[in-house]
Structure 1
Amino acid sequence: MQQVQHAVIDWQTDHQGNTVPTSSHFDDVYFSHAGGLDESHYVFVLGNDLPQRFSNLTEHQTFVVAETGFGTGLNFLAVCQLWDELKGKNKLADGARLHFISTEKYPLSRHDLQKALAAWQDTNKNAAILALSQALIKDYPLPLAGCHRIDIRDDIVLDLWLGDAKDSFETLYKTQMMQATGAKINAWFLDGFAPSKNMDLWSDALFELIKNLSAQDATLATFTAAGFVRRGLMAAGFEMSKRQGFGRKREMLTGKLLSDESDESAQPSPTHLPTRPKHIAIIGAGVSGLCAAYALAQRGIRITLLDKDAPLAGASGNPCAMFAPKLSLIEQAAHHLSTVSFLYASRFYDKLNQIDAVYAKLGAVDFLLPTQKNYDKLCALVTPYPDELIHQIEPIYPNQPIHTFVPKAGLISPKNLATSVLAHPLISWQQAHITKINSDAGITLIGDDPSTPAITADQAIITAGFESHRLHKALFNPRKIRGQVSWLDIDQPAFDLLPDHPIKYDGYCAKFSQDGKPKFLMGASFVRNCIDTDIKVAEHEFNMGKLADSLPSISAIIEPHTAQMKGRASIRAQTPDYHPIIGQIDCHIYAMYGMGSKGFTFAPLCGEVLAAMICGETLPISHELLAKISPNRVRLATPLTDNET
C-alpha cells in the first residue's frame, strides 16, 4: 500500500450550467456534458440489463457489479438509484444485496467529489441520489492503495480498490482462488477515460482478468466502440454486440460471457453457491463474537450468541477501550491487518453511534512506543501517510522522541457496543457454558448444565478467546497474556486539566466519564502464561510507574495512589505471529479469535471477512492478508513450546 495521488481536476461549465470535472492528467471529462447520470443509466445500467436482472434475484441473493474506473462515483450512484426504485416498488427479493466493486488509480479528493456530485443534489429531482451521495462522501476513503469497504446501507456495499486497476483485479483474483466459494462478478462496467487517453484500462491482460473474475452469467457494457476493444474482449471469451451510443456517440459495446463447458476453472454463479445458513450459534460474546454476530445479522442470518458470562465479560470488558492503529511502513500497509482494520473499524463504529454512543472520536497523541527507531526513521514512517490518518505535531510532553496525532483514534465504550449489537432483531443472547460441539449433521451445542436443552444451529462460530481451542481439537492453543488496567475517580478540577484525547506511550491513558463521574484510566500490564484474573497491587504500581516515567506532568495532576485504584484483569489470546485466527475449521464450524490486545481494532473487519466467507461473497482483503489470518497457516502447525508461551 502506498499513498495514492489525488486526481488533479479542471472545472468547466457545460451547456446546462453545471460545473463538471475534467482530468488534467488524461485531458478528458469524467461524465458527459449531455447529462452524466443519464449516460450512466443508458450505457451501464441498461447495457447490462440490470432492471430485469435485479428483479429476477432470489431471496438473499447478492448481485456483484465491477467497474474499471470509479471517477466521481456516478455509475455507482446510478445503480443504487435503480436498486432503490425497484425496492420501493417491491420488485426486489427479500434480503437481496448489491455488491459494487470499483477501482481508481487517481481518486478525487473528498472536496472535489462533493463538488462534482453537486449537480445531482437537487432534492426535488433526485432525493435518492442525494442520500446515497451523502453516504458516499461521508465514508469516502483516505488516499491509500488497497481495498476500502464502505457499507453504504444494510443491502448495499461498495469495495473501492485504490491503485492500478490491473494490480487490484489481480489481487482480487488471487484472493478468490484461495476462497473456494467466493462469489464471481455478474456485470462489468468498463469505464475510465477514452482508450486514446488511458490505454491501461483497455489492455488484453485486463480483459483476461475480467473473464477470470466473471460468473457464468456475466455481462459487460462500455461507452466505447473501438475495434481493438471489441476484438480484445472477444478474444477473452465475450460475445460482443454494438448498439446505439449515448448522446453524440454513434455506437457503444455490450457483451456476454460465452459458456465454456470444457473450462474446469469456471466458477459457479451465485445461485449455485453453498447452501446459505439460516441460523448460526456463536460461542463467546466478547468483541469478536459481537462483531461476527452483527456482520451476519446484517445479511439476514439469525444469530444465537452464547457465553458462560455476560457479554464482554472477558478480555473485551474494560470500562473503556482505546482505539488506535499500530502502523507499518506504508509500502506494507495494504497487507497490514492493524492498518486496514483500523480504517474499516472507524467507519463501523461511526455507524453504530447512530444507535448508541459507542465511539468517541477524540483523536490520540501517539509517541510510537515501544520502538527502537530513531527520530529520522519515525518521521519516515509517519510522513508518507495522509494527515487525516496520522501526522507529526509539535512536542507537548518532554523526553519523547516524536509526537504524532491520530485524528480518527479515540475511545470505545464496550458497554454501549454490546447494547448496540444486541439491539439487532436477529441477534439473541443466551447465557450458557458450552463444553462440546457435535457436528455430524448440522450443529448441536452441549453445555455443562445437564438440565439445559442442547442448542441446535446450521453452523457454529467459536469466538471464545484463549479458551477457543478447548472446543475443537483442530484449533491452535494460543499464548495467554494477562492484562490489568487501573482507573480511579478524580475530582472535576483535575479532570478539566487533563487532555481531552487519550495518549499512547509504552502503555496508554485516558480520562473518561462513567455514570456522570470523572475518571482516569491507565494500562495495561503484560504477564505471560497467566490466567489469574484477581486484581494485583503490583500491577497497579506497574501501570502508575509507566505513566510517571512517560508523562510525569499528567501523573502529577492525578496523584495516583494504589489505595484509590480500581482495576480489572483479563486474559488475551495471542498467536506466535500476532495475527488472529479467522476461517473455517470443519464442515459446519468456523473460528475467530487470537486478537491479542487489538480486538477493538481487528474485530469489525475480521467479522466482516468471516461473514463474507460463510455467505460465499467476495472478500475485502488481499490474498496476502487472507493467508496471514488462516487457521491453517504454517506458523500454527507447531504447538508453542514452554519458552514461547
Structure 2
Amino acid sequence: MSTSPWFALPYPKPTKHVIVSGAGLAGCTTAWALAQRGVKVTVLDAASAPAQGGSGNPQGALYAKLSVTPTKQSELHICGSHYSLNLLRHLDPEQTFWSECDVMQIATSSAELKRQTNLLLHNAYPADVVGGANQSALTDLIQQPVTADGLIMKLAGWVSPAEFCCALLEHPNIEWHGNSRLVSLQQDNGEWQLQVESGQQYRSGTVILCHADATKQLEQTQHLPLKPIRGQVSTLPASVTDKHLQQVVCGEGYISPPYQDQYCFGATFELHEQSTCVTASAHQTNLDNLAKILPELAEDFVKSKHLLTGRVSFRCSTPDYLPVVGPAPDISATLQRFAPLRKDRNWQFPETEPAHLPGLYVNCGHGSKGLITTPLCGEYLASLICNEPLPLAKPLLDALNPCRFLIKDLIRKRI
C-alpha cells in the first residue's frame, strides 16, 4: 500500500495529438520529446516568436546546483545535466548555439567558501561532476585573476536558450502558433477546448501547460504557488576587452564566454520588482557582482559601461525550488478525498485513488535552472503520456508532482 496515494500516476489513453501551451524551454523540450515518439504536437504561445520570456536571454549557464549532501534537487540537477548535454550533442553536434565547457564557481564570501569546502569533504559527488581548485589554479585555468578558491563543475557549459528552442521546434511533427495567448481551458466531451486571445479555438484530449507563472491564472491550476522573480542580464561588445573567457565563471552572478561577439553577464535577482524596463541600477549590480569574481575584466567593462545593453525577464520559481511537473490534480476532489490529513498527517487511505484532471499536465517552475531541468522533465512527461518506462525514480517524481502543494496545505490546515 502506498503511503502517499495522492502521488499515484495516471495511465493515459493512447494519443496521437497533444497541445502544448508555452514556447519557452519547458514547452519546446516537451513538444520535441513527444514529437520524437511520432505524436503530432501543436505549440501555442502568447508571443510572436518562441522563447520571448524567461528563456529568451542571449546565453544561459548550464550547470548543476549541488548541496553539501545530496538532495532531491541535486539529484534532479545531475540527471538533468547528463540529459541536457546529450540532447544538445544530438541536436547541434557542431555546437553552433552552445558550448560544452567547465563552469568555475568562485567562493565570493566566507560562508560560500565554507559551503564549498564541506561539499568537497563530504565527497558525495564523483570527480567527473565537481572538483575543487584554489585561487592560483583557477587564475591559471581562466587566464586572468580571480578573487578566491572555487569549484569546477564538469557537466556544464553555456547555451543560447532561444536558439535551442527554435531548433527543437523545427521537428516535422511540431506545429507552432504565435500570438496565441491561452485565456480559457474547458473540458468538453472528453477533450480539452482551448481558447486563445484572438478568439481561435483548439481541441485535444491531452494538454500540457508550460507557460511559467501564467499557469496559475487558469482555474484548473490556480493552486500552484508560482512566483515571478525579476532578472536583468547585461551585454557588452567583446571588443571592449582583450581578456577572452573560455569557461563560464560564476559567483553571485555569471558570465559566459563571448557569443556572436558579445559578452552576456548577470543576472540580477529582484524579488519584489515587477518593472520590465532595463535599469542602470541593475547594470551596476551586475558589474559589482562581476568585480567580485573577475576584477580585471570588470574594470574593463566599467570603462565601457556607456555601451551596456540588457534584457529583463522573469524566472518562474516555487517555494521548494523544485519544478512543477506531472498530471494536474482535480483541486476540489483532491481536497475532499484527502481531507482527513487536516486531522492526522499519517492518516491511511487504503482504497483512495488520486483525483486527476484527465489529459491535463503541467511543466513549469524551473527557476534559473531550466537548461538542466526542462529537457529531462519534458522526456518524463512524454514517457508518461505514451505509457513508456519513466526516466526518473518515483520518489523524485513525487517531489515534482503538482499535487504536493495541496497536500502540504491540507496537513498545515491552510485550506
**Does residue 469 of structure 1 match 2:216?**
yes
Q: Distance in 2 between matches of 1:512 and 1:175?
A: 48
Q: Distance in 1 between matches of 2:315 and 2:53?
A: 9
Match runs of 1:12-161 below 5 Å: none
CA contact (8 A) 2:20 2:210 kept: yes
**Does residue 574 of structure 1 match 2:311?**
no
Partner residue of 2:65? 326
**Does residue 389 of structure 1 match 2:389?**
no
CA contact (8 A) 2:147 2:294 kept: no
Deviation at 1:490, TM superposition (A): 3.0
CA contact (8 A) 1:478 1:574 kept: yes
**Does residue 481 of structure 1 match 2:229?**
yes
Change (3 A) 1:531 1:439: farther
**Does residue 597 of structure 1 match 2:335?**
no
Per-residue deviation, residues 211-266 of structure 1 (Å, max 9, x unmatched): xxxxxxxxxxxxxxxxxxxxxxxxxxxxxxxxxxxxxxxxxxxxxxxxxxxxxxxx
Q: Secondary structure at the match of 2:380?
A: helix
Q: How many equivalent pairs are there?
A: 367
TM-score, normalised with respect to structure 2: 0.81
Q: Distance in 2 between matches of 1:363 and 1:357?
A: 17
**Does residue 362 of structure 1 match 2:105?**
no
Partner residue of 2:34? 296
Match runs of 1:184-203 below 5 Å: none
Partner residue of 1:160? none
Give me the identity figure in percent: 27
Change (3 A) 1:178 1:637: closer
Long gaps (5+) in structure 1? 1-172, 182-272, 640-645
Partner residue of 2:338? none
Partner residue of 1:353? 92
Partner residue of 1:523? 266
Partner residue of 1:379? 120
Q: Secondary structure at the match of 1:435?
A: strand
Match runs of 1:361-510 below 5 Å: 361-367=100-106, 371-372=111-112, 374=114, 376-381=117-122, 383-395=123-135, 396=139, 397-400=145-148, 402-431=149-178, 432-440=180-188, 441-450=190-199, 453-475=200-222, 476-491=224-239, 494-495=241-242, 497-510=243-256
Partner residue of 1:286? 24
Q: Secondary structure at the match of 2:256?
A: strand
CA contact (8 A) 2:108 2:292 kept: no
Change (3 A) 1:369 1:471: farther
Per-residue deviation, residues 444-493 of structure 1 (Å, max 9, x unmatched): 1101223xx3111221111011111112343414121000000111317x
Greater gyration radius: 1
CA contact (8 A) 1:176 1:618 kept: no
Per-residue deviation, residues 353-397 of structure 1 (Å, max 9, x unmatched): 14873431022211256754526414315x443322221234224
Change (3 A) 1:399 1:415: closer
Q: Secondary structure at the match of 1:345?
A: helix
Q: Distance in 1 between matches of 2:155 and 2:4?
A: 29
Long gaps (5+) in structure 2? 140-144, 329-356, 411-415
Partner residue of 1:620? 391
Partner residue of 1:94? none
Deviation at 1:626, TM superposition (A): 1.2
Per-residue deviation, residues 166-213 of structure 1 (Å, max 9, x unmatched): xxxxxxx999995445xxxxxxxxxxxxxxxxxxxxxxxxxxxxxxxx
TM-score, normalised with respect to structure 1: 0.53
Partner residue of 1:316? 55
CA contact (8 A) 2:250 2:293 kept: no
Deviation at 1:561, TM superposition (A): 4.3
Q: Distance in 1 between matches of 2:389 and 2:293?
A: 44
CA contact (8 A) 2:229 2:317 kept: yes
Q: Distance in 2 between matches of 1:609 and 1:434?
A: 24
Deviation at 1:337, TM superposition (A): 1.9
